[in-house]
Amino acid sequence: QSVLTQPPSVSGAPGQRVTISCTGSSSNIGAGYDVHWYQQLPGTAPKLLIYGNNNRPSGVPDRFSGSKSGTSASLAITGLQAEDEADYYCQSYDSSLSSYVFGTGTKVTVL
Amino acid sequence: QVQLQESGPGLVKPSETLSLTCAVSGYSISSGYYWGWIRQPPGKGLEWIGNIYHSGSTYYNPSLKSRVTISVDTSTNQFSLKLSSVTAADTAVYYCARLYSSGWAGCWGQGTLVTVSS
């Protein structure tokens, strides 16, 4: 039972834009803690996609972008490609739990 | 290019202690960063287990704190995880990772599946 809630699945056609929400509370995202995003392709380790709310590591396409507002954060994928089909997780810190926490995860399907 | 590789038994009996090691190459652990463990039960999401700073300071998930020990061996450039009194609920893929101060994991090992079963 994660404290960061994501939609179980989102889908879109190639070329479309999809967004994944990450809803938290006043003890995590709303408290100002950074949000990070990971992409996990089937059978592989997670890969860092966005750190510090809206920063892309070197090598991550600019089709991926992150934002944060209030107690929520979002990951946007523009120009959706077949290779983007994966699970996506948000992460932050929760002061009530004194723990780093991950979101429930979202499966992105490219139609 | 930093690389991490987990190793350890793939099968652990209930009530015993799970022990894993993460070998780091391409970077000296003693130079900085946090080094941590994250796990993922089959078909489920990610759970942070804990971190160790290069100086030896440790930070554990409170839900696991009573059973977890993370240590670092700078002479072999490795860090380790011990999880005691395991049950079937501890069955998961265990990942080691290099983390930054705000918690993001920039580099991951490939993961190793540990099954708890008699």
pLDDT tens across B42-98, in order?
Answer: 999 999 999 999 888 999 999 999 999 999 999 999 999 999 999 999 999 999 999
| Tally of CB atoms within 10 A around A28 | 25
Q: Which residues on neighbouring strands pair with residue A5, listed in sequence order?
A: A23
Mutation for B interface: A58, A68, A100, most B CBs within 10 A: A100
Determine the pLDDT at residue A59: 95
For residue B108, list its beta bridge partners. Answer: B97
Window 32-61 of B, Cβ < 8 Å to A: 45-48, 61
Q: Is A47 touching B (CB cutoff 8 A)?
A: yes
Lowest mean pLDDT among A61-65, B19-23, B28-32: B28-32
Per-residue pLDDT reduced to its tens digit, A78-111 = 999 999 999 999 999 999 999 999 999 999 999 9
Q: What angle do CA B27, B108, A68 make, to 5 degrees?
A: 115
Q: Say how far apart CA A64 and CA A50 lie, in whole Å.
A: 8
Using the beta-carbon criterion (under 8 Å), do B62 and A36 form an inter-chain contact? no
Cβ-based neighbours of B14, under 8 Å, separated by 6 or more: B86, B87, B88, B116, B117, B118
Measure CA A25 to chain center: 16
Model confidence over A8-42: pLDDT tens digits?
999 999 999 999 999 999 999 999 999 999 999 99
